[in-house]
Amino acid sequence: MQNWVPYAMVRIAAFLIGGILLAIYLPNTIDDQLSRFVLIFLTGLYFLFRLLLPKRRGFRMACGITGFAAVFLFGFIHLKSKTDARRPDHILSISAPITMYEAVVRSAPESKAKTWRILVELEKVRTDSWSTANGKVFLYISKNSMSDIPWSYGDRLLIRGSPQGLAHPANPNEFNYKRYLTFKNIHHQQFLEADEIHYLKSVSRKGFIYYSHLARAWATRVITRSVAGEQEQAIAMALILGVTEGIDTDLQNAYAASGAMHVLAVSGLHVGILYGIILLLLTPLSTFSWSRWVIAGISILFLWIFAFVTGLSPSVLRAVTMFSFIAFARPLGWRTNIYNTLAASAFVLLIYNPYLIMSVGFQLSYLAVLGIVYLQRPIYNLWEIHNRVGDWVWQITCVSLAAQMATFALSMLYFHQFPVYFLLSNLFVIPLSTLVLMGGILLLIVSALAPLATAVGYGLQLLIQLLNWLVFKAEALPFSLISDIYITTFQCWVIMGLLLLLLLMFHFRSIRFLYASVAISVVLMYTQWQHYQQEMNVNQFVVYSVSGHSAIEWIKRGVSYFNADTALAANEERMRFHIRPNRLQHSVNIVRTQIPFKRVVADGFTLYRWQNAHVAAVDKKNQLPKVANFDYLVISRNSVNDPKHLSAFGLKQIILDGSNSRTYVQRWQAWASEYSLPVHAVVNQGAFVLMK
């Protein structure tokens, strides 16, 4: 117990996180009123133990247990209190149809391929009459109807129509976008044209966030004006402001394959670099005895100015809060216990927004910093280099190794890949991204001096061109990326547990941890074998749900036979989102578009014989034969308009794929009832999946 004394905030934060996670995964475990009553009771009991009873060992232990139980329960209650959907006036509780609503803009506009996206927060809705309401909605506004977004943060809008609830994943193993947005308290979206939105008035009280958005818009204009080239501007915006919208797919893939993806969003790395630069510039002050608090104050001030200019995005707020605690801890002499400082920053962030615990950025940031704090020095001490350049290279290598060891399991779970040359790429990515960040800040400072800003912008452009060139060269190296890695959440925990046991073995030099690591390795191997039996060693037929497209796939022991329209096959982003997750789970390593069990009967009518089942696909009108022998019929492009004779076929299933219009699907649903036909429309019911 004494070993835990210096880690008070670590324990407090751990129990808070435990309560938050219980509320996320098992929200109905404890009744709301009962949980509040128990929290009040435990809090009173804690102060009773703390203040009134003798300070004996038994009472101290009881006091600690009571306090941690109270923190755990507080985390549980706090998460529920921050869940907007539980409010009685939330839009989810409105059953009557909404015809229009008033909302306030709560984000800067984001540019998508065909739409603008903004987040709005409801204030009033109109059903039979106007009433107050609460809820957040993503608006997707067609670029064909609006070339730019004229509204600012805080503007009040009148919007026609009704927000639509977010849909569940339509395809097997597809990313659960609905759950992801639920953790941001967003439950609705709406696609609309510009004439369906009417500006009412600007915000009456312009708060801190409003001016922060103006500052980011100004910084965006400065960078766009001073740095030439679309790719160069995109990287500058990402490294300096954390705006990643302009990065094209090729550039993003190159950074991912080279292990440099972490620089494409303002995070702990960028804020840590900025903090290091501030400390370096303030070095002359360190000789004075009174300078500690001055340096801390100036550091925190400049960190928050940087956060203000970047628009106070969640990732920047997280990183700046973390380093603000580190800066505050330095004059207090807490540098020897960085774990408490990190735990305190996490505690404050989770009090502000408990759903941050489910943020990938939050998890990776804290794991990376913990890895660097715990592992970097021991790794560095393994090799003593008496050369300044060699020592500098070794230091960067050790930082990269430490961060990668701490985060690689989580990275494989979320991103399904591992960059082989991350050590090599970080040798130039970290220094060059540091120079780009410094150059970007200098550009914003001198932006009023046009000739100087032009010169700094040109230098920044050359640096980014060099960075991009090196990243593409690293991507081009053989075997640069191990992709299509699939692990479950449980396996991720097992891998992290295995790494922790190995670290404890070296730290305590105890054979017990080696035995435990061997045991947990056996568990990992068993889960892999189980995955092979349940997921890979199966035969699967899938008709995917992809709006506007046809996609059929047969999977057999790691081999995919895939048939899709050319537009979908060429759309890498939609393939990655809708199709690839199912392939990952079934360990598909070969994709074939030439299907050996395919037979074209007529133009627009194809038969597939698979596992003693006959699948027919029709995609042209009037091509369905009057007499045929098949079990499943896949209809594409509104091609069958006479379902009367289908009831005689004895079909097991009629599947309407995503290329059919919604009006056509509705017509088929009426026919299904009239003629007793088994119809599955992927647009409404999700992908059709058949296992053999």
DSSP β-bridge partners for residue 419:
481
Question: Measured between alpha carbons, how far is 103 from 136 in angstroms, rounded to an integer?
Answer: 9
On the 0-12 / 13-18 / 19+ scale of CB atoms within 10 A, 350 is: buried
H helix runs in 247-335, sequence order: 249-258, 268-281, 291-309, 314-332
Residue 370, classed as helix, strand or coil, is helix
DSSP β-bridge partners for residue 104:
121, 156
Question: How far is Cα of residue 588 from the mean position of the Cα atoms in its chain?
Answer: 24
pLDDT tens readout for residues 86-110: 999 999 999 889 999 999 999 888 8
Task: Return the exposure string of 420-451: e unless at least 16 CB atoms fall within 10 Å of the residue's CB, then b.
Answer: bbbbbbbbbbbebbbbbbbbbbebbebbeeee
- pLDDT above 70 covers a percentage of the chain that reads 96
Question: Measured between alpha carbons, how far is 299 from 340 in angstroms, rounded to an integer?
Answer: 20
> Does the structural domain 539-691 have CATH classification 3.30.420.40?
no
Question: Measured between alpha carbons, how far is 368 from 403 in angstroms, rounded to an integer?
Answer: 5
Two structure tokens written together for 569: 């096959």
pLDDT at 124 (0 to 100): 93
Give the torsion sign (CA, 144, 572, 415, 561): positive
Among the ranges given (491-505, 563-577, 581-595, 637-651), the one the predictor scored with the smallest mean pLDDT: 637-651
- Asked whether the predicted pLDDT for residue 1 surpasses 60, the reply is no
Q: Average per-residue pLDDT in the chain?
A: 87
Q: H-helix or E-strand containing 380?
A: helix 360-380
Two structure tokens written together for 179: 């759950």
- Terminal-to-terminal C-alpha distance of the chain: 55
Task: Look at the block and give the residue holding tokens 């306030």.
Answer: 104
Q: Which residues contact 577 (CB under 8 A, 6 or more apart)?
A: 174, 175
- Over its C-alpha atoms, the chain yields an Rg (Å, rounded) of 29
Neighbouring CB atoms inside 10 A of 178's CB total 15
pTM tops 0.85, yes or no: yes
Classified by CATH at the fold level, domain 91-206 comes out as OB fold (Dihydrolipoamide Acetyltransferase, E2P) (2.40.50)
Question: Measured between alpha carbons, how far is 105 from 152 in angstroms, rounded to an integer?
Answer: 7
pLDDT at 342 (0 to 100): 86
On the 0-12 / 13-18 / 19+ scale of CB atoms within 10 A, 343 is: buried
Phi, psi of 547 (to 5 degrees): -55, 125
Neighbouring CB atoms inside 10 A of 359's CB total 18
* pLDDT confidence band for 2 (50 / 70 / 90): very low
Please report, as a single letter, which amino acid is at residue 36. R
Higher pLDDT, 517 or 316: 517
Q: Which residues contact 554 (CB under 8 A, 6 or more apart)?
A: 539, 540, 541, 542, 560, 561, 562, 595, 608, 610
Q: H-helix or E-strand containing 638?
A: none
Structural contact between residues 168 and 176, judged by C-beta atoms closer than 8 angstroms: yes
Question: Measured between alpha carbons, how far is 672 from 635 in angstroms, rounded to an integer?
Answer: 14
Structural contact between residues 110 and 247, judged by C-beta atoms closer than 8 angstroms: no
Mean of pLDDT values over 275-289? 82
Mean of pLDDT values over 417-428? 87
Among the ranges given (185-199, 342-356, 489-503, 618-632), the one the predictor scored with the smallest mean pLDDT: 618-632
pLDDT tens readout for residues 33-62: 999 999 999 998 888 877 766 566 666 777
- Asked whether the predicted pLDDT for residue 625 surpasses 80, the reply is no
* pLDDT confidence band for 201 (50 / 70 / 90): confident
- Asked whether the predicted pLDDT for residue 313 surpasses 50, the reply is yes
Among the ranges given (131-140, 204-213, 509-518), the one the predictor scored with the smallest mean pLDDT: 204-213
DSSP state, residue 287: G
* pLDDT confidence band for 334 (50 / 70 / 90): low
H helix runs in 203-290, sequence order: 208-226, 230-241, 249-258, 268-281
Two structure tokens written together for 38: 């128990």
Question: Measured between alpha carbons, how far is 216 from 220 in angstroms, rounded to an integer?
Answer: 6
pLDDT at 628 (0 to 100): 63
DSSP state, residue 616: E
Question: Measured between alpha carbons, how far is 539 from 612 in angstroms, rounded to an integer?
Answer: 12
pLDDT tens readout for residues 503-559: 889 888 888 999 999 999 999 999 988 888 877 778 899 999 999 999 999 998 889
Higher pLDDT, 206 or 677: 677
Residue 653, classed as helix, strand or coil, is strand
pLDDT at 16 (0 to 100): 96
Where are the chain's structural domains? 2-81, 91-206, 211-482, 489-536, 539-691
Concatenated DSSP letters of 62-104: HHHHHHHHHHHHHHHHHHHHT-GGGSTTBGGG--SPP-EEEEE
* pLDDT confidence band for 333 (50 / 70 / 90): low
DSSP state, residue 246: T
* pLDDT confidence band for 450 (50 / 70 / 90): confident
Q: H-helix or E-strand containing 553?
A: strand 551-556
- Asked whether the predicted pLDDT for residue 316 surpasses 90, the reply is no
DSSP state, residue 631: S
Two structure tokens written together for 205: 């009280």
Phi, psi of 151 (to 5 degrees): -95, 155
pLDDT at 185 (0 to 100): 93
Mean of pLDDT values over 274-278? 85
H helix runs in 477-600, sequence order: 489-508, 511-531, 566-570, 572-574, 580-585
pLDDT tens readout for residues 146-197: 888 888 888 999 999 999 999 899 999 999 999 999 999 999 999 999 999 9
Higher pLDDT, 662 or 57: 662
Phi, psi of 353 (to 5 degrees): -150, 95
Question: How far is Cα of residue 269 from the mean position of the Cα atoms in its chain?
Answer: 18
